[in-house]
């Protein structure tokens, strides 16, 4: 008779093995993306580097799921406890972040604006960042943070008379209105758009800022975002419960073995 349930053990092991493999892929993709960058840009603006963020999340996930995999497979209480504690901390931090983000939405709005402005400033410094901004502006049909004129913060796009860049007073091509029949993308379609007022520019580019469009999208997709959040948090909660069940089962098994050892020499046992 065994107190350890194979179903609980292998359910915990299987889920963590899947997450472990995903974490390895995340780290590999992050490292590959990082190595493709120029060495002079590699030490600049790490805070806005998607590759660094991907590697950090991948390493954290790898360490936590490694404890879960080995702990469940070897029935190691210490590893299972470490796994359960780390996952509980991550779970609580996500809940706290969600609540604080809702309560202090104005401060979150300000932080998002700072992040977008920083990304605009370093648009040409990082290819990954540039592709991320272009993707966001295309998907949300927006341009800049608050408005399209935010691109004047970038040294290549600013409108100062001393700017020798050919992109002076322009915006990236991802701000332009998309023509479904256009076969070849005109990367110069944003030329000189910052010199025009919003009414004139709206005939060629998206003039609304990405912060406004992002907020509108979030309000329009609250149920979807809630479902995604639940889909991310619920498996973690199930994992924590399975880990605690397995820990209790292993402890009961150890107690049974100790009890048998103590009474093995008893002739009346």
User: What is the pLDDT, as a whole number, of residue 80?
Assistant: 93
Q: pLDDT tens across 209-263, in order?
A: 999 888 888 888 888 888 888 888 898 999 999 999 999 988 888 888 887 777 7
pLDDT of residue 75 exceeding 70: yes
The owner of tokens 């329009």 is: 220
Q: In the numeric block, which tokens belong to residue 151?
A: 């691109």
pTM for the predicted model, two decimal places: 0.70
Q: pLDDT tens across 106-115, in order?
A: 787 788 888 8
Strand-pair partners of 147? 208
Q: Domain ranges for the chain, please list them.
A: 123-236
């Amino acid at each position: 008779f065994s107190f350890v349930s194979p179903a609980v053990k292998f359910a915990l092991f299987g889920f963590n093995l899947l997450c472990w493999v995903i974490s390895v892929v995340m780290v590999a993709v992050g490292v590959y993306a990082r190595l493709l960058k120029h060495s002079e840009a590699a030490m600049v603006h790490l805070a806005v580097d998607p590759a660094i963020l991907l590697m950090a999340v991948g390493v954290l996930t790898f360490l936590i799921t490694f404890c879960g995999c080995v702990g469940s497979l070897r029935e190691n209480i210490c590893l299972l406890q470490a796994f359960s504690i780390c996952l509980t901390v991550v779970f609580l931090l996500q809940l706290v972040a969600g609540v604080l983000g809702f309560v202090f939405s104005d401060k979150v709005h300000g932080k998002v604006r700072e992040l977008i402005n920083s990304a605009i400033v370093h648009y040409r410094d990082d290819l990954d960042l540039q592709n991320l901004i272009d993707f966001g502006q295309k998907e949300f049909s927006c341009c800049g943070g608050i408005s399209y004129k935010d691109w004047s913060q970038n040294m290549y796009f600013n409108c100062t008379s001393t700017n020798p860049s050919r992109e002076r007073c322009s915006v990236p091509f991802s701000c332009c209105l998309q023509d479904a029949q256009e076969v070849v993308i005109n990367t110069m379609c944003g030329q000189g758009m910052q010199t025009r007022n919003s009414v004139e520019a709206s005939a060629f580019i998206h003039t609304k800022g990405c912060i406004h469009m992002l907020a509108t999208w979030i309000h329009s997709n609250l149920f979807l975002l809630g479902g995604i959040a639940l889909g991310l948090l619920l498996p973690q909660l199930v994992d924590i419960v399975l880990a605690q069940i397995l820990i209790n089962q292993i402890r009961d098994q150890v107690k049974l073995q100790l009890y048998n050892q103590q009474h093995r020499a008893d002739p009346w046992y």
